[in-house]
Amino acid sequence: MYSEKHLKTFENSFHVKQKTHCVPININNQLFLIKWWRSWNHELNGLIENADIVRFIKRRRIAWLGHVMRVYDRRISKKILEWKPTGTRIRGRPRKRWIVDIEEDMQIIGIKGWRKQCKERAEWKRITVKAKTHRRL
């Protein structure tokens, strides 16, 4: 599982300080490259409407949680979500579980009692929209 820092680094590798563009124009079935210009990062962010890969992943993860919590109890995805590992584990700090990460996101958004709210599809849709627009997520 990738951390937010890794995802931000991956996303920023696509953004460059300057990006050169060329506009192709077709005249009499011949392709001409007419205009060159440079775009800065803030211009590129305006074009993609400040899309953030971390925010997108967190929002989709919250939407998926609502779906899994509403499915029939015998489905594998729900069993895995509610499964508690047994036995011994390796030394060191335990890995952060998926559900703990989502609970932290819910706390940031300010959602309490999400286990009851996820049963109602319309209410959960409101929560996912709130997650999409939340600045700190």
d(CA 38, CA 22): 9
| Number of compact structural domains in the chain | 2
Nearest-10 crossing angle of helices 98-109, 121-133: 80
Angle at which helices 4-12 and 53-70 pack, to 10 degrees?
130
What is the reported pTM? Answer: 0.64
> Quick check: is 4 in a domain?
no
12-49 pLDDT, tens digit per residue, is 665 554 455 555 666 666 665 555 556 666 666 666 56
pLDDT tens for residues 81-100?
888 888 888 899 888 888 89
Residues 34 and 63 in one domain: no
Dmax (CA) for the chain in angstroms is 73
Q: Which domain holds residue 126?
A: 53-83+95-133
3, part of any domain: no
Residues 112 and 59 occupy one common structural domain: yes
Cα–Cα distance list, 8 to 51, 56, 106 (Å): 12, 12, 21
- 63 and 31 housed in the same domain: no
Task: In whole angstroms, give the CA distance from residue 58 to residue 50.
Answer: 15
Q: Is the same domain home to 117 and 58? A: yes
Residues 59 and 116 in one domain: yes
pLDDT value of residue 17: 47
Residue 33, in any domain of the structure = yes
The first and second tokens of residue 17, run together, are 């300080």
43 and 57 part of one domain = no
Q: Are residues 72 and 124 in the same domain?
A: yes
Q: Are residues 101 and 129 in the same domain?
A: yes
Whether the Cβ atoms of residue 40 and residue 21 lie closer than 8 Å to each other: no
Average pLDDT rounded to a whole number, residues 50-56: 74
Backbone angles phi, psi at 13, to 5 degrees: -65, -20
d(CA 72, CA 79): 10
Q: 16 and 72 share a domain?
A: no
Q: Are residues 20 and 71 in the same domain?
A: no
Residues 114 and 64 reside in one and the same domain: yes
